[in-house]
Amino acid sequence: MQKDILHLQGLRPAFNGTEVDVGLGPVKNAFPGATFPTGAIHEFLSMAAEHAAASAGFISGLLGSLMQNGNVCIWISTSSVIFPPALKAFGIEPDRVFFITLQREKDVLWAMEEALKCEGLAAVVGEIKEMDFTASRRLQLAVEHSRVTGFVLRHQPRHLHATACASRWRITPLTSQLEAHMPGVGFPRWQVELLKVRNGKPGTWAIEWFAGRFRQVSEQTVVVPQQPARKIG
């Protein structure tokens, strides 16, 4: 009965019955059946530029797994926050991502809906500020047929309406930790907050990108970046 309910709510088994492991580690247990929902829409919220960049990096980690079979991705925005060469760190060749830049947000939403109908894509990412329930429902209806996975990156939204998205996330950066006696920069780290998930269990995790996968890190090694002091007056 639970599977039937999930089916009616738009969470269907993966195409050809094969599940895609996006390497989310303990986070996957928050989803029904401990499986990240592909063929669904996922919403990411950010309120600062560094949070938008962190969200883009985390999404790139998910895309790396979704694109393993050689499929391509479309990334649509009015001004993308992603730096294409950085995608290599997540196992993605930049020439397999088609970046589309449009002038108006409503055109981004329309283009995203049309792209999500293309069955040959691995995923579609759209950067839009505002999205109501009706708009999100149109995106969800598109992926229910194509089984393409959609990511909506919303930077500084004015309104947080209920949406038809399978999940709502907030990703913030954490200070990376250097390996012992090793120079350079540590692996990317994020505080991953799963704010809402359909028929699942929201939660918060400290996650690191390591050896092509996500892994949870211990609280003892987590350093939260200090926010700059605000001038008063």
Give pTM, 2 decimals: 0.84
Domains observed in the chain:
25-174+186-221 (3.40.50.300)
What is the band of 12 on the pLDDT scale with cuts at 50, 70, 90? Answer: low
pLDDT at 13 over 80: no
pLDDT at 195 over 90: yes
Judging by DSSP bridges, how do beta strands 213-216 and 203-210 pair with one another?
Answer: antiparallel
- Report pLDDT for 6: 46
Between 222 and 157, whose confidence is greater?
157
Give Cα separations from 15 to 146, 186, 197 (angstroms).
9, 36, 21
What is the band of 232 on the pLDDT scale with cuts at 50, 70, 90? Answer: very low
- Report pLDDT for 21: 79
